[in-house]
Amino acid sequence: MIDLNIDGAYDIRSVKGGDVNEAFKVYTDKGPYFLLLQRGGDNNFFQAEIAGLKLFEENRVNAPRVLDSGVSDEGAYLLLDYIEEGRWLDQGDLARELKMVHQISSPTGKFGFDFAYRGSSISFSNAFKETWREVFLEERLDKLKDKLSEGKIWSSEDLATYEKTRKVIDAYLRRRESEPVLLHGDLWPGNAMFSVEGKAYLFDPAPLYGDWEFDIGVSTVFSGFDDNFYRTYLKDVKKDPERAMRLEFYRLYLLMVHLHKFGNMYRSSVDLSMEKILSKSSDK
């Protein structure tokens, strides 16, 4: 049994919690808690997630509350409210929670975040920049490209295709007038839920201040969010003929993350995404 000296704890059981951290349900005299553990992690590992969850709480976004965090002999840990999962209901409620997140503006007026993104296989600095293009293209995609090259996953031919794709992305993002708002940063259906009481929740953020389209694009990579989610979110958003292309940039990002992390099972998806960007663009 993992010993983190949690008051009143009498049992702890492993539960599913993603592929970055180990996750546990902790049974205590006061009720259950949710525990994330990064073995060997340091005191900085959960900084960004904690900051994101606290911003959610301050702005009344439905999310687990941070109860405790620190480092023990087991590693870095994060203790949260335990929310009993129910069946999925009206996904418009999830879209409205996401809208609330995106209404939180960057206090500096810049893009980035106070703490770095820390993942199991790659990290990003999140250093504040004047433009979204700098954060997304230079600090995210280019860093991923370097990792794929260093890991011998990409050949010189792949790198040449990326450079052509990068030129398109650069041109489109230079035309986009982005506002820095808080992003969930890792929006897939595994990081959203409904409680047994029927409330929509967002959790496990990888926060940064960026363009809201990033979350929407990332959310489309894996199935789970339905048409009502997107209709509700986009209901009052001005149409933009270049949006579909930009959303593909964010799908490419997440697919490149997975290619780096899991290998060639994502190669065809990455290749197809770059092909779509190049074939649909006049900025080649």
Does the pLDDT of residue 1 top 60, yes or no? no
Q: What CA–CA distance (Å, rounded) separates 12 from 82?
A: 13
What is the percent of the chain where pLDDT is above 90?
86
| pLDDT given at position 194 | 98
Reference 194, options 83, 51, 55, 64; nearest CA is 83
pLDDT tens by residue, 234-245 = 999 999 999 999
Report the pLDDT value the prediction gives residue 83, as an integer from 0 to 100: 96
Average pLDDT (29-49) is: 92
User: Which residues fall within 8 angstroms of residue 248, CB to CB, at 6 or more apart?
Assistant: 217, 273, 276, 277, 280
Structural domains of the chain sorted by starting position, each given as residue range(s) with its CATH number in brackets: 9-81 (3.30.200.20), 92-280 (3.90.1200.10)
Token digits of residue 138: 């230079």
Which residue out of 114, 142, 186, 283 is catalytically annotated?
186
Give the model confidence (pLDDT) of 204-221 as tens digits.
999 999 999 999 999 999
Cα 175 from chain centre: 24
Q: What is the mean pLDDT of residues 97-121?
A: 95
Residues 46-52: what's their mean pLDDT?
Answer: 97
- Clarify whether 240 is annotated catalytic: no
Amino acid 16: pLDDT: 82
